[in-house]
Each structure stands twice: as C-alpha cells, then as structure tokens.
Amino acid sequence: MSLIEKTASELLALQAEGKASAVEIADAFLAAYSARESKLQSFMRAPDAVAVRKQAAEIDAKRKRGEKLGKLAGVPVAVKDVLCTKGIRTTCSSKILENFVPPYDAHVVERLKAEDAILFGKTNMDEFAMGSSTENSAYKSSRNPWDTERIPGGSSGGSAAAVAGCQAPVSLGTDTGGSIRQPAALCGIVGMKPTYGRVSRYGLIAFASSLDQIGPFAHDVRDCALMLEVIAGHDKRDSTSVNEPVPAYTRTVNDPVKELKIGVPKEFFGKGLDAEVATAVQQALKEYEKLGATLVPISLPHSPYALAAYYIVAPAEASSNLARFDGMHYGPRTKEKGDLIETYSKSRAEGFGKEVQRRIILGTYVLSSGYKDAYYVKALKVRRLVKKDFDDAFATCDVVMGPTTPSAAFKIGEKSDDPLALYLSDVYTVSCNLAGLPGVSIPCGFTKSGLPIGLQLLGAPFEEEKLLRIARMYESASDWHTKRPKV
C-alpha cells in the first residue's frame, strides 16, 4: 500500500519510526492531487505546494531536534470551503463570496494548526452547503472516486471525494442534515457528525445555525477518533459550544462495548430503500450479533415527518443567515442601476445559485406573517417529538442503527431537475440533526456494480466515545474500510 493509501495513524507511525518524513508524505499527496484532480474535481482551492512543503520541512526539523510534536504532525488535512481560513479565499462554492478572504481562522482550523496538521487546500461543496450531491457548486461538480460518472454525495462531497480518492488522508466537512454521513456512505469512507455543541462553529459560515456541525472524514474509525479528539472542545467565542470534557477517544476506540444493545427502527427499512443497501445493512447487523450484540426492534414514530420538518426549519434559518449577502453589507453589487430594493434583488439573483435561491424563498415564506404558525412553529413541535423518540429509544438500547442512504450513488445529472428526489437522499440522516445527536457512517459493503454502501450509527448526546467504540467493533471484524478505488 502506497503512502497516499495509508491512514493518518499509519502516517504518524511511519514518521515516528523514521520510515517516512513529513516532506515525503507531503510530496506524495501533492502528486496525488495533481494526478487525480482533473478526474475528481474535489478541491475548490488547490493545496499551496510551497506552503505545504515548508510546513512539512519545519515538522521534520522539530522531530530531528526532539521537540514535542502535535497529534497530527505531518498529516495533510483538507478543509471544506465553508470554514474560514486566514488569508485563503473562502467562497462556500458561491459566486457571491468569490473574493472573500477571511482575516481569521475558524476554531477547528486553529486546532488543526496547533496540532501540527498540514492545511491541504479547500474542498468543493454544494453552494452554502445546500444540496445532497455537490452538483450545486457554482464552479464544478465533484466526482465519486469509485465511479467518476456518479456524484460523491453532498454537501461535503469534495471533502469525501478527496479522502476516498486518496488526495488527502483525512478532511473536515459540515453536517446540517447528513452532509458528512451521506457522502461518506456514498464514497466508502467513515464520516462523523458530533453532538450539536461538541465542536465550535466559530468561523463556520452558517447555513442553519441550530443544525450545523463540523466533523471529520477518514478511512477508518481510529482516524475519525483522532480528528475528533483534536477539534472537539469548548470555545467561548461560540455561544452554542458546550463546556463538556473531551474524552481521549483514541485511547478507548478499540475497547468493545459489552452487552451491546442495538436499536433497529422499523421505519428505516420500509418503502424506498434499495434492496442491495438493505441486504448489506442486515448483514452488518448479523455481524454485530456474532460479536455478542443484541438487536432490539424499536420504533421512531415521528421519523416519517422529520424530512418535512427539516426542510422547513433549515430554509427558515438559511433565509435569515443569508440576508446579509445583499451587495451592500456583503458580496458583490450588481452593475445594473436601480433603487435599493432592485439593487438587493439583482445582486442576490446574480450571486446565488438556483438551489440557494429556492431555499431562501421557501424559508422566507414559512417565516412570513400568516404562515409562521402554520409551518415553522409546527415544524419546531415535530422536531421536539423527533428528539423524544430518540430519548425513548436510548432508554432501551445503546445505539440506533440503519442505512445511511436509501441507495448507492446516482449518476451526475440524474436528479438535477427533481429537487424533491434529491431531498429524499437525506431521509435517514436529518432526524439526527433535528435531535442534535452524534452520528457516524461506516462502510458495510458494495453493490454488485461496485458502489459503496454505508451503515449509520446514531448515539445519545455527547456519547461519541461509546459510538466510536461500537463502530470500531464492526470495522475490526470486516475489511470494507481497507478498500481503495482505482482512480
């Protein structure tokens, strides 16, 4: 296995053993980026080769001098283009932010730098994180490394494709309704959404503030634990950041959970689930039984309403968050002449893509006078019921499991003209965000045509440590996470 196919943990071990230097690792991934980017279109902003090599050389020098190194020393980390990076353009893959250069780093970027990670470019995404396929980027459509005619998922599709395509060993994405777990499943890698409040959102350009969370992509659960250990923790600059201790996830990740009880919701195995996906997930559940787990049939009675509630709450918050981009406060101003309202309208029409415009209009409508109680307030009530369903479930089981997505990756353009079909891609993931829970997707098989399938694990709030251990149990008994596509 070449350097670019190694996990971050393996790369750290190679450096510690003197079998590879940080510069050699950096050069390997820079070469992989150059060779594969034309096929994958994973990145919005290419890795700065000069800066990458300089930082790698500094890490090698520190190691030679015997100085203390960070937890991610010499590991390249790709970052989704929705996270602010000081002095590096951050566009959210939107024309309205095409010239925005942040004067500060996002909290998670600060944490990466503090642990000697090498910032390795900015990844492509659905514009303002609105989408399920990364076809809504204003600049390019990212490709699935397992079949470049297919989508990698979204909105963090660029981050997922970069890891799956071995352009970076790990990356960061954001998850508002499944935007880490869904592309992780479709690209055959591990993706984790932490509990809401576990990771600071400072420096994250918001889509829906009560739903957004930052999380890692990796080849395996061990790397996911390592990344979460680095980025999690309280940040006083974020009022939603929770002041809870961060466990040493990497120390316990290989410890199995004894007397494990797995909740299997009947609502996750109904109409609309692809037969091959259902079979792979059921086989994974049987493997857990072999490992000593007990399957507990459960019901999440309000989950059928979660998708509808999500697509009211999320657009409502988006319409508020994106109001600032009007050509006056932020974003380029239209060159066409007009009064104030006309200038606002034309600037936003020129700067935002169709999907963003669609969600702003929808969000504005459900918050408008006469409709707020009928739609938005009712959706908030459903959100509370969804949360209660999970509270009841976790009283009887340790984890809830099911498919991450209803099908494997579809072809680029296949659902572009059908927004509702795209929204249904998130049917199994949005309830996790509405309830503020941690969730992880791990590989559990392939379709007959060679496309990855993901198993989703959902845990109780702030129980990431247990969730990672449960995910690692299956991973240790299978080899799906070791597969790499031929790009």
| Catalytic (active-site) positions | 80, 155, 179
Helix (H, G, I), strand (E, B) or coil at 24: helix
How far apart CA 125 and CA 128 sit, in angstroms, is 8
CA distances to 25, 30, 93, 148 from 38, in Å: 21, 14, 17, 11
In angstroms, what is the C-alpha Rg of the chain?
21
CA distances to 318, 380, 464 from 328, in Å: 18, 32, 42
Name the residue with tokens 């576990």. 198
How far apart CA 19 and CA 38 sit, in angstroms, is 31
Q: Which amino acid is at 51?
A: A
Contact at 8 Å (CB) between 382 and 305?
yes
Range list of β-strands (E), 151-279: 170-175, 190-193, 213-218, 261-265
How far apart CA 376 and CA 378 sit, in angstroms, is 5
The encoded tokens of residue 158 equal 């660029």
Closest CA to 76 of 12, 164, 144: 12
